Amino acid sequence: MPDTFEPQPQLNLSGSAPAVANGIPQFAKAEYAHPPGVDHCRICSTLISGDYYRVNNLMACASCAEQAQGGQPKDSHVAFARGVLLGSLGAVAGLILYAAVGILTGWTIGYLALAVGWLVGKGITKGSSGLGGRRYQIAAVLLTYFAISLAAIPMGIAYSIKHRPAAAQSSAAAKSGPDAASSQSPAQPKPKRPVHIGSALGGLLLLGLASPFLEFTGNVGSAAIGLFILFLGLRIAWTITAAKPLSVDGPYSAGAS
C-alpha cells in the first residue's frame, strides 16, 4: 500500500478563521487583521492611508519622514501642546510628592528635585511622542522650577497650622501678668481689614516662586546646597527634552504588520 501524505496544519498569524480554498483550509497563508487607514502619524496626527515610515520607531507619515531625513522633523502645535499637558501633570505629581514628604517628615529633602525634573521631562517626552528641542526644554525647566518652588506653599501652610496653638499660648502668656488687668485700659477691638483673595493668592505665588532664594536669609550653606540640587533637577529636565538624533526607516505598507 502506498504511503499517504497528510498536510500538517500551520499557524494562522491573524488569529481569525483560516482562509478556505476548494473546501480545504489554508493554514499556511499568513493573514493580518490590520485594516488600512486607521493609523495616525505619531508626529502630526494626520491619518495614514498608504505607506508609512518609522522615525525613531514611531509611525510617521511620508511628509514627516521626509522632514526627518533632513534633520529634526517639523514641530507641530499638537505635539507641543500634548507635551506641555503631560509635563504639567508630571509637575503636579512632583509638587505633591515634594510637599508631602516635607509635611510628613518635617524636612526639606532637596534631592527630590531630581525626581521632579525626571517626572516633568518624561511627561513632556511622552506627550510629544519623542520630539524634543529648545522650546520643549524651556517648558520643562519652567515647569520643574514651578513645581519645586511652589511646594513651599503647602509646606508653609501645614507648618503654620501645626504651630499655631503653641504660638497663641505663648503670645497670651506674654501679654498676661499679675498687674496686666489693672494697669492697662480695656483693649479696643481692632478694625478688620478686608481680605482680597486675588491679592492673597498673588502674594503666596510670589512667595513660593522666591522660596529657593529666601533660604539664604537663614543657613547660607544649606541654602547653597539646596540651590545646587535644584539646578541639577532643572538640568535633568533640560537633558531629557533635548532634540534626539533621528533614524528613518521605510516605507512600509499600512496593511502589513
* Per-residue b or e along 34-65, where b marks 16 or more CB atoms closer than 10 Å to that residue's CB: eeeeeeebbbbeeebeeebbbbbebbbbbebb
Map grid coordinates 516662586 to a residue. 209
User: Is 4 strand, coil or helix?
Assistant: coil
Nearest to 248 by CA among 54, 30, 33, 8: 54
CB atoms within 10 A of CB 200: 10
- Show the cell assigned to 247: 533614524
- Show the cell assigned to 130: 519623542
Q: Above 80 in pLDDT, residue 24?
A: no
Tens of pLDDT, residues 36-45: 456 888 888 8
Nearest to 143 by CA among 209, 79, 97: 209
Tens of pLDDT, residues 211-238: 788 877 777 877 788 889 999 999 999 9
Q: Above 90 in pLDDT, residue 209?
A: no
Q: Above 50 in pLDDT, residue 35?
A: no
Distances (CA, A) of 62 to 10, 121, 127, 130, 255: 36, 28, 21, 18, 16
Q: What residue type is assigned to position 162 of the chain?
A: K
Least-confidence region, from 49-58, 194-203, 230-239: 194-203
Nearest to 104 by CA among 172, 176, 155, 177: 155
Residue 212 buriedness (CB in 10 A; 0-12 / 13-18 / 19+): buried
Q: Which residues lie closer than 8 Å to 102 by C-beta, 6 or more apart?
A: 108, 109, 151, 155
CB of 117 within 8 A of CB of 236? yes
Alpha-helical runs (H) found in the chain: 62-69, 77-105, 112-127, 134-150, 152-175, 180-183, 197-214, 220-240
